[in-house]
Amino acid sequence: MAVGAGRRRPSPGLRELLRVPGGERVDLTAYDTRATPGGPGAPKDKAAALEAVARSAQRLAGLQERLYAASTTGDRRRVLLVLQGMDTSGKGGTIKHVIGLFNPSGCRIRAFKAPTPEERKHDFLWRVRRALPEPGEIGIFDRSHYEDVLIARVHQLAAHRELGHRYELINRFEQELADDGVTLVKVFLHLGYEEQRDRLLARLDHPDKHWKFSAADIDERALWPDYRAAYEVALRRCSTDTAPWYLVPADRKWYRNWAIGTLLLEHLEALDPAYPAGGFDLEKSRKRLLEGA
Amino acid sequence: MAVGAGRRRPSPGLRELLRVPGGERVDLTAYDTRATPGGPGAPKDKAAALEAVARSAQRLAGLQERLYAASTTGDRRRVLLVLQGMDTSGKGGTIKHVIGLFNPSGCRIRAFKAPTPEERKHDFLWRVRRALPEPGEIGIFDRSHYEDVLIARVHQLAAHRELGHRYELINRFEQELADDGVTLVKVFLHLGYEEQRDRLLARLDHPDKHWKFSAADIDERALWPDYRAAYEVALRRCSTDTAPWYLVPADRKWYRNWAIGTLLLEHLEALDPAYPAGGFDLEKSRKRLLEGA
């Protein structure tokens, strides 16, 4: 790994490598869910990834602190990690293992489930707007407004015309967020069909994991091709220059964690937030403290 | 350290040791802020505490997961850690180092600052009610409704009569929370006056910490005896059987982290949440998955 002038980068441009080209037809079957693009080791391996993630913890937390500090003097920048993927693709695991590296004070995590009666009274972006990170924070969406073009499309929860309009509404919404200082990091956890079966079976095998399982998960699994098609449309239409989608192969948990940690690191380093100068007289304050105050 | 029948406890009853007796006069000058009551080592030392905290991480996260899992089938129990203490007493550090041991998904953290114009329109408990943990979560208040009998008392931000009434309102509120499954863990971080000076000076010495400092911090420091008196009244009047206050000497950060981690562990172990049984037919589900679904 190259060592730069004072600042190491874990990988040159994972953002470029994982970015889904917008506007073009997306064929998810062409992406290997077990792949490890840009992976840290040579040969790319688990141990190197685990080590790299652990090593990045301090830098991630340091950048997060600078981002937060900058917000105290008016910098409105913040990061919003959007996690989408099929059941068991590792949204929760990512939060535990990657977001767990940050200072929890500055993280605003929201899991989106089926809309509540109150949420249904509003447009689909209403509940999302209420869960956005404040300036200086790292926001994390476990599922998001994209459910409204995924499950909503698969189960036809809205009129065809309305659904078709939502992609454009999402793009406008995300542009608006970007204009207000939000760096969107949209991650699609690309899981294999076989791997999902293994993970669901593992849930059945462990009584401690039964609470995570529902028979409805198998019903949803039967709709796999429909979900894939819905994802393909969402990725094509909403991977924009402003807010690109990143496709992270998700069969290997160690790769998933490494890749998302690295994506966050690259984005935070690009933001390069700075500690603000203090708004006080340093010598006067020191003197007051030393002279007994 | 004694090893029990399968489950180790880090300390027998730190809850008892640190609990502030309610109803009795409290004299904070009688509590040594550098003390390490119940500390883990013999001799009580930093290395043992750091090791104990690291070792407890898995148990804390495991209990948290069980608490969350139980909530998915209707268990309304949750934990609310309330952190109070003078500036620099370590509320933020506790969240970073102790709450950082939990899965961030299940933590709901709220820092209370000066009330916003909207918050001022409501009674002082309004904003607190909106920030409560949901069932299964660990809530963390960085400052809390107690500010309304602390800074509000020191700066006379409310009428004398109104202030006097708030202790009773707080006790009723906390009883109501307890009745709804909330285990309150109220921690007063007891910092020394000298130690605060050293910590404020350290902020001045490090440009990276200037953003945490304000000249107003020194003005507040000048009101130290008033704050101490306000804390003494709050501890006396609001350390109840339902929701006792714990006094944690806070000059030593390693002790503070160990003590709060241990208090949380003891409370979670007492709750002893259980993974719920799955609401599905295990064999049928397994068969469906194996037969190609």
CB A248 within 8 A of CB A257: no
Closest CA to B253 of B98, B41, B83: B98
- Indicate the CATH number for domain B19-273: 3.40.50.300
**Mean predicted lDDT score pLDDT of chain B:** 94
- Indicate the CATH number for domain A14-273: 3.40.50.300
Query: CA–CA distance from A147 to each of A169, A271, B77 (Å)?
Result: 14, 28, 30
Assign A58 to helix, strand or coil.
helix
- What is the average pLDDT across A149-168? 95
Residue-level pLDDT at B10:
46
> pLDDT band at residue B5, thresholds of 50, 70 and 90?
very low
Asked if B275 lies within 8 A of A99 by C-beta distance, the reply is no
Best mutation target, B64, B83, B88, B103, to test chain A (most A CBs within 10 A)? B103
- What is the average pLDDT across A41-49? 79
Helix (H) or strand (E) holding A84: strand A78-85
* Token digits of residue B42: 């013999």
Asked if A218 lies within 8 A of B109 by C-beta distance, the reply is no
Closest CA to A44 of A198, A262, A266: A262
**pLDDT tens-digit readout, B165-186:** 999 999 999 999 999 999 999 9
Asked if A207 lies within 8 A of B289 by C-beta distance, the reply is no
CA distance A31 to A189: 11
Asked if A109 lies within 8 A of B109 by C-beta distance, the reply is no
Best mutation target, A72, A105, A194, A220, to test chain B (most B CBs within 10 A)? A105
- What is the average pLDDT across A248-259? 97
Q: Which residues contact A269 (CB under 8 A, 6 or more apart)?
A: A7, A9, A63
Q: Measure CB to CB from residue B288 to each of A102, A218, A293 and give the nearest one.
A: A218
Number of H helices and E strands in chain A, helices first, is: 12, 5
* Shortest CA distance from B215: residue in chain A: A280
> pLDDT band at residue A86, thresholds of 50, 70 and 90?
very high
> pLDDT band at residue B44, thresholds of 50, 70 and 90?
low
**pLDDT tens-digit readout, B202-236:** 999 999 999 999 999 999 999 999 999 999 999 99
**pLDDT tens-digit readout, A22-39:** 899 999 999 999 999 998
Asked if B201 lies within 8 A of A278 by C-beta distance, the reply is no
> pLDDT band at residue A44, thresholds of 50, 70 and 90?
low
- What is the average pLDDT across A120-145? 98
Preceding peptide of A43 cis, ω within 30°: yes
Residue-level pLDDT at B200:
98
Query: CA–CA distance from A249 to each of A31, A49, A53, A187 (Å)?
Result: 8, 14, 17, 10
- What is the average pLDDT across A240-255? 97
Q: Measure CB to CB from residue B278 to each of A111, A210, A222 and give the nearest one.
A: A210
Provide the shortest C-alpha distance from residue B277 to chain A (in Å): 7
Residue-level pLDDT at B279:
86
Q: Measure CB to CB from residue B95 to each of A105, A275, A289 and give the nearest one.
A: A105
